[in-house]
Amino acid sequence: MHPSRPVLAATALLATTLLAACGSSADGGATAAGQGDKAEAVLRLPDPGNNGFLALGKKDGSLDRALAAVHAKVAWTGSAGPFAPAAQALSADQLDVAQGSITSAVAALAQKPGFKLFAQTAPDGVGEGILVKNGSPIKTVQDLVGHKVAVSQGGTSEYLLLKALEKNGIPADKVERVYLRADQTAGVFNSGQVDAWATWNTFSTPSIANSGAHFLVNGKEVGSDNYAVWAVRNGFADKYPEVVKAFYTYLRENGLKEKADPAAYLNVFTDSGPTAVSAAEKEVAVEVTRQGAPADAIGEADIARFGTVAAFFAEQKVTKQTVDVKPYLIDLGALGGGTK
């Protein structure tokens, strides 16, 4: 999970929440509500929760103002979480834009996608990786042999583990993968039912801050090409390219602001309750965001690295064959007005 990788913005609630909340609004996107001579586009986005620049944009109205300039408005629907159910919602015309990882996007593109990718954020070298408990006898990747590692199937989590094993010359079948949903893994990891957990910043931050965990290796150390990507529903992009462009510009500009002052984008709505970031979590989250990157257009170098991920997933038999990502990319420059 990452626009400029707003740490903890997703909080990864139950995936079904997204689908249930979206289901009643299947005809809500790209609908018209009269505004002078122009129809007003409705951009359906997963609710950003309590953290990140989209949360602040919801609170202060800045996103509404940015989209109003292109005769559009936001409809917050469901909760941000894993990309797999969001990809299904995009393809089912229940959502217009969502963020995920290129690893989960490759898995979704292996199906019959109804979306394309229009922006990327560089891989998170320090916020994702393989967690072990402090005091664990597992000190190196080699030590994972014969142990259980919790992963979410077909996305960031499984990718990070497989990359770490490949880099260290360890056959994948020498480590037991325990497939769990990311939002249901913390308790299993904390109770010792698994020996390690491959995950990303939404979950690594609270685990490191509150649960006595640390990275055995992080994304940079395993050579991760795991970009964050933004996806848009095909029908929406075709009908409202200027809205996609305006939304991208907002992502880019506000991602830069968040990177410069990460603490200002935490606990946007409340500093108490289950969605609040604790003081210890803030320290970890701020450091991760400062080292992150804002959203950007997808360039040739990025496309090559997307292809590397797709080829790796095919080699590791996560997908049946290498997915060609190129047909599913949007050239922002072709939308008119250039890019920032």
CA distance 320 to 110: 8
For residues 7 and 52, is the Cβ–Cβ distance under 8 A? yes
Q: Which helix (H) or strand (E) holds 216?
A: strand 213-218
Low-confidence ranges of the chain (pLDDT < 50): 1-37, 337-340
With a pLDDT cut of 70, the percent of the chain lying above it is: 86
What does the pLDDT read at residue 78?
77
pLDDT tens figures, 299-321: 999 999 999 999 999 999 999 99
What does the pLDDT read at residue 39?
65
Strand order of the β-sheet with 115-121 is 97-101, 228-233, 115-121
For the entire predicted model, the pTM comes to: 0.86
Strands (E), 97-175: 97-101, 115-121, 129-133, 148-151
The distance from CA 80 to its chain's CA centroid, rounded to whole angstroms, is: 9
What does the pLDDT read at residue 335?
74
Name every residue whose Cβ is closer than 8 Å to that of residue 228 and which is 6 or more positions away in sequence: 1, 2, 3, 5, 99, 100, 101, 102, 120, 121, 124, 295
Name every residue whose Cβ is closer than 8 Å to that of residue 135 and which is 6 or more positions away in sequence: 212
Tokens standing for residue 17? 């929440």
Name every residue whose Cβ is closer than 8 Å to that of residue 253 and which is 6 or more positions away in sequence: 340
Tokens standing for residue 133? 């408990």
**What's the Cα-to-Cα distance from 287 to each of 10, 223, 296, rounded to whole Å?**
18, 20, 21
What does the pLDDT read at residue 84?
85
What does the pLDDT read at residue 336?
54
Name every residue whose Cβ is closer than 8 Å to that of residue 121 and which is 6 or more positions away in sequence: 2, 3, 4, 5, 227, 228, 229, 255, 292, 293, 294, 295, 296
What does the pLDDT read at residue 334?
83
For residues 41 and 71, is the Cβ–Cβ distance under 8 A? yes
**What's the Cα-to-Cα distance from 194 to each of 178, 189, 223, 291, rounded to whole Å?**
8, 5, 24, 29
What does the pLDDT read at residue 23?
38
Handedness of CA 9, 15, 20, 22 (dihedral sign): positive
For residues 276 and 98, is the Cβ–Cβ distance under 8 A? no
Query: Which amino acid belongs to residue 245?
Result: K
What does the pLDDT read at residue 80?
67
Residue 288, φ and ψ in degrees, nearest 5: -65, -45
Tokens standing for residue 284? 């970890």
Q: Are strands 196-199 and 148-151 parallel, antiparallel or unpaired?
A: parallel
CA distance 163 to 309: 10
